[in-house]
A and B are shown apart, each in its own frame.
Chain A
Amino acid sequence: MKFSDDYDAKFRIWAAEGKAHGMPRIANLPSFGHRRFDSYEEFNAWKKSLLDRLLKEGGARWTK
C-alpha cells in the first residue's frame, strides 16, 4: 500500500495539522425558500430531494 492510500495515516496528519482547508462552492444550487422541520426523517427527505434536483440538472458546478 502506498502511504498516500493509508487513510488512517492521512487522518493522523490532518489531525495533527489542525488547519482548516478551503472548500469550493456550488455555483448552481437549486433555489428554495426557508424550510422548518419537525423530524430528521422529514429533514433528510427534503435534503435528498434537493440533491436529486441538483443531479437532474447535471450535477454540481463548482466555483471558488
Chain B
Amino acid sequence: MDEVIRRLNAGAARYLLIGGQAVRLEGLPRFSLDWDLFIPGKDQANIEAINRIMGDALDAPLVALGPRGENFVQTYQTEWGILQFHLGGPGLPPFDQAEARSVTRHTEHGVPVKCLCIRDLLESKRKANRPCDAADIAFLEAKEGLRGVTG
C-alpha cells in the first residue's frame, strides 16, 4: 500500500489514515485486512484529484458524500489490498479539525503517512467500541499516557 500513499502524497491529496493501520503505524503489531482513509466528504476537487491520482486502480470513481450521508464508506479492491475511503462516520471529528491535529507516521518502509492523531484515533475506537477494538484502545491509552496526550 506504500504505492497508494506515495501517489496521494505526491498529488497533495487530502486524506488521513484511520483505523487498524493507523494503530499499527503507532507501533502496535497487528493485522488489518484493509487500509481506511478518512477524506473530506464534500471536497469535490479533492475527490476528483484522488480519482485522477488513482486512475485505473479504482474500478469505479470515488463519489462525494450524499445529502443524507449516502456513500459514506466506499470500498475498493486494488492490487495493493483493500482500500476504504471514509467520508465521515461515528466517532470521527469534522475532517478540517482532524486534519489540523493530524500527525505524520511512517510505514515500515519509511513512507510518510498522514494519520489521525492519537487522541482522535482513540476517540474513534472508543465510539466504535467493538470487541476487536479493545487491544487498540488499551495500546493507544498506554501511548497517550506516555506522551501526555499530545498525539
Contact = CB atoms under 8 A, between A and B. Distances in A.
Interface of A: 7-8, 11-12, 14-26, 29, 31-40, 43, 46
Interface string B110-129: 00000000000000000000
Interface residues of B, number: 40
A8 B60 contact: no
B73 interface: yes
Interface stretch (B29-37, B42-50, B93-101): B29-37
27 contacts: A7-B135, A11-B142, A14-B28, A15-B139, A15-B146, A16-B146, A18-B26, A20-B106, A21-B27, A22-B108, A23-B24, A23-B31, A26-B33, A31-B77, A34-B58, A34-B59, A34-B60, A35-B75, A36-B70, A36-B71, A37-B71, A38-B68, A38-B71, A40-B73, A40-B90, A43-B73, A46-B75
B98 to A, nearest CB: 18
A34 B24 CA distance: 25
Contacts of B81: 25, 29
Contact of A15 (B24, B59, B60, B142): B142
A18 B11 CA distance: 27
B73 A37 contact: yes
Contacts of A24: 31
Given A14-B27, A21-B108, A36 B138 contact: no
B139 A23 contact: no
A31 B135 CA distance: 29
Nearest to A32: B77
Nearest to B33: A26
B87 to A, nearest CB: 10
Contacts of A46: 75
